[in-house]
Every structure is written in C-alpha cells, then in structure tokens.
Chains A and B, each alone.
Chain A
Amino acid sequence: MIFNSIEFAIFLPIVYCIYWFLLKGRTNWQNAFIILSGFVFYGWWDWRFLFLLLFTALVDYFIGRSLGVVESIKKRKLLLTISVLCNIGLLGFFKYYNFFVDSFVSAFRFFGYQPTTDSLQLILPVGISFYTFQSLGYSIDAYRRKLQPEKNVITFLGFVSFFPQLLAGPIERATNMLPQFRKERKFDYNQSVDGLKQVLWGLFKKVVIADNCASWVNMAFDNPHAYNGTTLFVAALLFAFQIYGDFSGYSDMACGIARLFGFQYMQNFNYPYFSRTISEFWRRWHISLSTWFRDYVYFPLGGSAGSMAKTIRNTMIIFLVSGFWHGANWTYIAWGAINGLYFLPGLISRSNRKYLDIIGNSGRISTIEWARMLFTFFLTTMAWIYFRARSIQEANAIVYEILFNNKWQLPQFMPTAVFAGIAILLLIEWMGRRNPYPIQHFFVNSPTPVRWGFYCLICLSIYFFGGREQTFIYFQF
C-alpha cells in the first residue's frame, strides 16, 4: 500500500478512528493495533514477507533482552554479532546476492575463466533496508547500553512495524521512539492539525512535483543516446527534483501520519537544495540514514579522531557504503564515491562545519552564498546522474554529453508546466525554510477562510496537476 493511493485513503481513517476511539487510553492495545495495521499495510504488497519482518524484529527483541541481563563482554559481543549477521545477512541475501554473483562472474571472465554460477530469481522485500537498519540500530544501542532493552514484545514490534516509516523511513532510533511507545498517548489537536498539513505538503511534493518529473526523466534516461546535451541536462535537473519530491515527500507524509497517532519522528530532510556546501547538503539530506552511518559505522571506525588520512578513509567508506546501501548496482557505488570526493575538499580544509544554520537565517545572504548554493546544487545534480542511469557507462556518456560535448542546442523537450511547479515548490520552501516543513506557519494567524483557501489550493493542485500514480523510488531500497 502506498500513501498516494485510494486504498490508503480508506485505510488511514479506519485505523485512525479505531486507534483513538476504541483503544484510547489503552497503550498496550494501541501498540498491538499498530502492529496489526502495520502488517496489513506491509502485507498489502506481499504478505509472505511479513515473516521476514517478524523474524528480524523478534531476533533483535530477544537479543536486546539478553543484552539487558548479560554482563560478560564476550557474550555481549557474541549477541551483537548474531544481530548484525541476521540483519545484514538477510539484507545481503535478498538485496546483494545476485550482485555479488554477477560481479564475481564478470571478474573471473575478465581473467579468462568461465565459472558456472546460478543467479536466484529473488524478489527484493520492499523497505528491507529501512526496517533492518532500524532494528539493528536498536541492538547496537542496547549493546552500548544507550537504552534500556524493551521487555514488552508488543511495544518493540510496534516500534519496528509502525506503518508510516515501515517502507521508506525515516530510519528511526529506538532511543527516540521506544519511550513514545511506552507512554500513554493523548490526543493533541494542534499536533494533529500540524500532522495533516505535513501530509498535505508531502503529497504535493510527491504527486505534483515528483510524479510529473518522472515521465520526462524516464524518457531521457531510458534512451539517453537519442537526446542532446542540453536535453540531458534538463532531464538531470528534473531528476534532482523528482528524487527530492519523491523521497522528502514520503518522509513528510510519514512524519505527518505519525503525528496523527501521537508520535514525533526526526526530521529527515531539512531543505537540502538550499545548501551552500556538500557537507551542508549531507547534513540536510536523508538525515536519518546519514546519522545512522555516522553513529554506527563512522564513529566505530574512528571518525575524525585520528590522522587526516584515517579521517579521509573513514569518510570514503561511509559514502561508499551509503551508496551501496541504496542498491546492488555499481551506479550507486559510483554515486557514493562521487559524493565522497565532493566532500573531501571541505574535510581537508576543515571548513565542512562552516554552515550549520539554514541560509539567510542570520542576516543578509551574500552573493558568494548564492553562488555556492547554485554550485552545490549543480554538483549534486551531476552526481544524481549516476544514481539514475542504468549503468556507469551510460552515466559517463550522459555526463560527457552535458559537460564536454554540449553544443547548447535547444532542448528536445522543455516541460514548462513542470518547471513552473518546481518554481512554486522552491518559492514556498524558501519562504518556510526555518520550519520543519515549509507551510507549517503559513496563514496560521489569518482568518479561517484564508487559511482553508490556501489548503484547498494545495489539494486542488494535487487533484488537477497530479501525475499518474507512481510508487516511491526509495521503496526499492
């Protein structure tokens, strides 16, 4: 089930009403109902993979409980190893098995051998990268004694299977979510209104921006040789907004829906395209994944505590792993590597923590800041080409065509209506960039008809200008 579907529009109010009317004040029952609704939501796609979700969650639950009582360091390490092996093993098998087999075969063929191997016809369980990481994060935190392991299996299963974040994040932390699952939830009118507004904004980004960009992007990236450099650049720009609208739209919807049920998620996107450096971009893009890798991989590797060479090594590892996390394809690894290389100048010059605040938050924006913002966006857009292209060869060809063989002819397509939508998106995001989502405080002090008129306008633009229903890009990860 996806958020932008009629099925979900029916599912959500039913779950909401049962949750608040029938189960109000009964936290454990509400959590049990969250599990049930999560299973329906996930099983709508393919019920067989519910067992995988259940297995991952139960393994980490029991390991967490054991970590709560076992004191021996050796045994604790063993327990953590089991959790890592189970989670990463499942992820590796379902997501990367064929990739490794094919890569080994290619490598052997390069040296003249002809190995016989079997690729499996595996279906990638949707959202597996998200829920395994969330569950694994809990085990690591329990191992590090950062949290009190959860004893109530219902509470823990609720945390793993809560449907808003189940398929595409945010990859929530147990330290943030478990306390919320334990305490009694009280209905908060303002929080619910806020949640609905965030859902609305997320839906706008997904349906009006991302879905409308998708058809043009697909056209160009499915047959890049048919287009000139200018057109490919237009397609790359559109993809930059497609992936942003798609993924941040999903995150906004997830955060908004969670709020409707009385939960507070972390902010997953913080206006990344207004970043002035690549390091700032990575503090604002897919924050839950970046911080996951930072806390559970980068810091254990030594972080930036050692020599500069080690810091560079650790940084590159993080970017490569992050790229690989996205998919079993060399294009994602290349995308990670490119972003890692982008990141290095700031790291070496120790200026990577220069812009911690959103642009224009403290005073006038200088010309240099504008230029940096545009340049950062350009770099990001060029890197997205590797993310979207079907192969590295095709990505290289597209980049070559755009940068080195571009005669800047007229583009073969120019979807002006889509760009108008993007301009509106950017304008609204710019105006509301100091808030967790841009329309949070729009017209809050205006009379109801004005405020509702604004919301109606967004709803109608979704209705009239929404692209064809498309699944979310990040479901495949």
Chain B
Amino acid sequence: MIQKFLLRTGFFLGILTSIIVVCLLAGTILSKQRAHFKVTAPHKKILAIGNSHVTYALNEKILDNLLNFGSDGEAYFYSYTKAKKLLEANPEIRYLLIGFSNNMIRNSIQRWYEDETFISHHLPKYVNWMDVEDLKLIYSENPKAVIMATAKFIAFDLKAVSTGKFPINEWGGPGILTNQLSDSVVKNTNNAMNLYETGIHSVNLRYLKKIIEMAKSKNVQPVLVRTPVHALYKVDNEQDLQHVYRNNFADLPFLDFQHFPLADSCFADYDHLNKNGAELFSRALKAELKKIVD
C-alpha cells in the first residue's frame, strides 16, 4: 500500500511540476515573441540607468533628450541586461548615463543580489533576456530564491499578453518624491549614518565594467554620474569610489554632483531628491551634459 501511496503522490507531483514547467516555457516563449525594446522617442539620445538615486533625480521634462530607466534597488547585474537590450534596439541612443554612487560599489550591495526580496522583484523582469552566465551566477548566489521566484516569472510573462510596452514598461523609469526631509530628521544625525559593511563589491564592479564595455562596443559613450546627497549623509567609502574610478574608468567623464548645493527642502531623505531637488539638479546636469553631448 505504501508503494501505491508513494507512486500516486509522485504521479500527482509529476503532473503538477509538468503544469508549472509548461506554464514557464509557454510564458517564456510568449514573452520573447511579444517583447520589444524600441523606445518610441527618436530624439532621445541619452539613456540613464542606475538605482533609485537616478530614478528620482533625473527629470525627463527638463532633460528632454534623456530616457530615465533608473530602478529602485537595482544592482548593475540587472542593469546590464537592461542596457544591453535597450542599446541594441535603439541605435539613436549615443550616450549611456550610469548612476555611480558610493553605495553601488560597497560590499553591502551583496543583499541586492542574494536577498530573496530583491531577487523576486528584479529577476522576473530580466530573466528571459539574461545571458546563461548571468543566470548561473544568480543561481549560485541564492538557488532557493531563484526557484521560489519562478512563480513570479510566469506571472510576469503573462503581462506580455496584456500590454503593448512589454517588458520595458517594467524596467524602471522616472519617479517623483514629494515629501521633504523634516527638520527633526535633519537634526537626528544618527539616521544619516551609513552603517553598512565596507569594502568593494567585486561582482557589482564587474558588471559595471561589463556595461561600459558593452556600451563602447556599440559606439555609445558611457558617462558616470553621482547625484546629490545631503550634507549629513555620511559617506565612508569615498576613497574606495575614487580608487575604482581612477583605476578602471579614468577615461570616462564623471559628472560628480555629490556636493551640489541644495536646501533641505530639496531632499526626500538623505540620499534621494524630491521633486524640487530633481528640478534644480536636472537643470544643472543639463548644462553639464551639453558640454559632452554633441
């Protein structure tokens, strides 16, 4: 009887697994067929990628020749796939603006790869267009989270059927923060402490290099940009960042606005600009970009 029980249970699980695998394959095929990466804005010459610093700092109305594809909590690992597909499909883009902030190179960025929340949020958006090598890497970081995220892959792929802008409508974009850093928060300097683990994160740095090499291979000029942060935002890995820049990207323009003078009312928190801050910063950035963009 126990054999019968195990056989029937196994058979049931087999059917279940088959249903899931079929859904997964169908979703992948469907989304690959339906996906397009063409941005319907031929005048846009600059593509901006990065994390939430980029998302909330770049105002597309002011920077009218720029496409803001920054995405909250996104490591270069995911941005690489995004930049690759967008640059391939949009040859009019000539410049790649890459958010280059202190938190993107430090070791604490590791959780942006291995944490289940980050994987389940970002991986479904890019998994169908990732290189095998990248998939192997993320699987080796957290196989459990990748397996758990398969349900999200299917759910995400189903959107392919229902939307015409798939998948780039899910790949980030400009955001607006309306709140202001309050006086009480400003005075509480403890909140501004950056207590994460220090050291340079090798994987994120490797993918930043990959993004830059890929852009260069497509005759796209990479430009690094650091968005403004509040004076109380303690940055304790500045040496690391400068070291990384000097040793790897010294040939690239680096638009460093870290200390760009802005009032407290321009910040949503210590390292994110709100609507007012984004407008002021975008004007300043536009002026700087004019020197680079032909």
Contacts A6-B147, A464-B151: A456 and B1 contacting too (C-beta < 8 A)? no
Q: Are B12 and A6 in contact (CB under 8 A)?
A: no
Complex interface: chain B residues within 8 A of A404 (CB): none
- On chain B, the residues within 8 Å of A192 by CB distance are 2, 5
Is B116 touching A189 in the complex (CB atoms < 8 A)?
A: no
What does DSSP make chain A's interface, helix, strand, loop or mixed? helix
Q: Which A residues touch B12, using CB under 8 A?
A: 452, 455-456
Tell whether A459 pairs with B148 under 8 Å between CB atoms, given A468-B117, A468-B120.
no
For B154, list chain A residues within 8 Å (CB): 464
The answer to whether A456 and B15 touch (CB under 8 A), given A463-B20, A468-B117, A468-B120, is yes
Question: How many residues on chain A are close to B (CB under 8 Å)?
Answer: 20
Instruction: Specify which of B1, B148, B155 is in contact with A469 (CB 8 Å cutoff).
Output: B148
Query: Is B4 engaged at the interface, CB distance under 8 Å to the other chain?
Result: yes
Q: Counting CB contacts under 8 A, is A196 at the interface?
A: yes
Query: B2: which A residues are within 8 A, CB to CB?
Result: 20-21, 187, 189, 192
Pick from A196, A464, A468: contact of B116, CB under 8 Å: A468
Give complex CA distance A40, B169 in Å: 46
Check if B9 sits within 8 Å of A460, measured CB to CB: no
Interface size class of B (residues with CB under 8 A): 20 to 34
Mark each residue of chain B from 104 to 121: 1 if its CB lies under 8 Å from any CB of chain A, else 0: 000000000000110010
Pick the residue among A17, A21, A464 that contacts B155 (CB under 8 A). A464
| CB-nearest residue of chain A to B155 | A464
What are the residues of chain B within 8 A of A188 when measuring CB–CB? 1
A residues near B155, Cβ cutoff 8 Å = 464
Across-interface contacts of B26 in A (CB, < 8 A):
none
Partner of A196, one of B9, B15, B19, B117: B9
B41 contacts the other chain (CB 8 A): no
CB neighbours (8 Å) of A469 from chain B are 116, 148
Interface string of B1-42 (1 = CB under 8 A from A): 110111001001001100110000000000000000000000
Are B1 and A463 in touch, CB under 8 angstroms? Answer: no
Name B19's contact: one of A456, A466, A468 (CB within 8 Å). A456
B144 contacts across to A, CB distance below 8 A: 6
0/1 interface trace, chain A 445-471, chain B, CB 8 Å (1 if under)? 000000010011001100110101100
Rounded to whole angstroms, the CA-CA distance of A20 and B147 in the bound complex is 29
Chain B residues with Cβ under 8 A from A196's Cβ? 9
Residues of B148-169 whose CB lies within 8 A of A:
148, 151, 154-155
Within the complex, the shortest CB–CB distance from B182 to chain A, in Å, comes to 14
The reply to whether A193 and B116 form a contact with Cβ atoms under 8 Å apart is no
Q: Are B120 and A189 in contact (CB under 8 A)?
A: no
- Determine if B116 and A187 form an interchain contact, defined as CB atoms under 8 angstroms apart: no
- Taking each of A20, A463, A469, which has the highest tally of chain B beta carbons within 10 Å of its own beta carbon? A463
> In the complex, what residues of A have CB within 8 A of residue B6's CB?
17
Instruction: Among B116, B147, B151, point to the contact of A466 (Cβ < 8 A).
Output: B151
Residues of chain A contacted by B9 (CB below 8 angstroms): 196
Which chain A residue has the least Cβ–Cβ distance from B8?
A: A193
Q: Do A463 and B151 have beta carbons less than 8 Å apart?
A: yes
8 Å CB interface, A54-76 against B: none
Question: Which residue on A lies nearest to B11, using beta carbons?
Answer: A452
Q: Mark A405-435, 1 if CB is under 8 A from B, else 0.
A: 0000000000000000000000000000000
CA distance A192 to B20 in the complex (A): 25
Expressed in whole angstroms, the minimum distance between the Cβ of A459 and any Cβ of chain B is 5
Q: Which of A20, A187, A456, A466 has a CB less than 8 Å from the CB of B16?
A: A456
- Who on chain B is nearest to A448 by CB? B8
Bound together, the chains give a CA A6 to CA B146 distance in angstroms of: 12
Contacts of A21 on B, CB cut-off 8 Å?
Answer: 2
Residues of A within 8 A of B148 (CB): 6, 469
> Which residues from chain A contact B151 at a C-beta distance below 8 Å?
463-464, 466
Given A189-B1, A196-B9, A468-B116: A460 touches B19 (CB 8 Å cut-off): yes
CB distance from A29 to the nearest CB of B (A): 17
Shortest distance from the beta carbon of B196 to any chain A beta carbon, whole Å: 22
The 8 Å CB contact of B5, one of A6, A193, A455, A468, is: A193
List of B residues within 8 angstroms of A193 by Cβ: 5
How many Å from the CB of B106 to the closest CB on chain A? 26
Q: Please, which residues of chain B bring their CB within 8 A of the CB of A452?
A: 12, 15
Per the bound structure, the CA–CA distance linking A468 and B155 in Å amounts to 15
> Chain A: which residue is nearest B12 at the CB level?
A452
Measured CB to CB, the nearest residue on chain B to A455 is B12
Q: Hey, which chain A residues are within 8 Å of B20, CB to CB?
A: 460, 463
Q: How far is the CB of B290 from chain A (nearest CB, A)?
A: 42
* Set of chain B residues within 8 Å of A189, measured between Cβ atoms: 1-2, 4-5
Most buried by B among A21, A187, A188, A192: A192
- Assembled-state Cα–Cα distance A21/B3 (Å): 10
Q: Which residues of B contact A6 (CB under 8 A)?
A: 144, 147-148
Q: How far is the CA of A21 from the CA of B16 in the complex (A)?
A: 25
A79 CB to closest chain B CB (Å) equals 42
A460 cross-chain contacts in B, Cβ below 8 A: 16, 19-20
* CB nearest to B144 among chain A residues: A6
Bound-complex Cα distance A188 to B2 (A): 8
**Residues in B whose Cβ lies below 8 Å from that of A464:** 151, 154-155
Interchain CA distance A456-B117 in the complex, whole Å: 26
Instruction: Write the nearest CB–CB distance from A186 to chain B, whole angstroms.
Output: 9
CB distance from A197 to the nearest CB of B (A): 11
Q: Which of B1, B19, B120, B147 contacts A187 (CB 8 A)?
A: B1
In whole angstroms, what is the CA distance A20 to B9 when docked? 15
The answer for the CA separation of A468 and B145 in the assembled complex, in Å, is 10
Indicate with 1 or 0, residue by residue over A290-305, a CB within 8 angstroms of chain B CB atoms. 0000000000000000
Question: In residues 128-183 of chain A, which contact B (Cβ within 8 Å)?
Answer: none
Sample of 14 more A-B contacts, CB < 8 Å, known A452-B15, A466-B151, A468-B117: A6-B148, A17-B6, A21-B2, A187-B5, A189-B5, A192-B2, A196-B9, A452-B12, A456-B15, A456-B16, A460-B19, A460-B20, A468-B116, A469-B148
Can you report 20 residue pairs joining A to B where beta carbons are below 8 Å apart?
A: A6-B144, A6-B147, A17-B6, A20-B2, A187-B2, A187-B5, A192-B2, A192-B5, A452-B15, A455-B12, A456-B15, A460-B16, A460-B19, A460-B20, A463-B20, A463-B151, A464-B151, A468-B116, A468-B120, A469-B116
In the A-B complex, the 7 residue pairs with the smallest Cβ-Cβ separation, listed nearest first, are A189-B1, A187-B2, A464-B151, A463-B151, A192-B5, A6-B144, A459-B16
Residues of B at the A interface (CB closer than 8 Å) are 1-2, 4-6, 9, 12, 15-16, 19-20, 116-117, 120, 144, 147-148, 151, 154-155
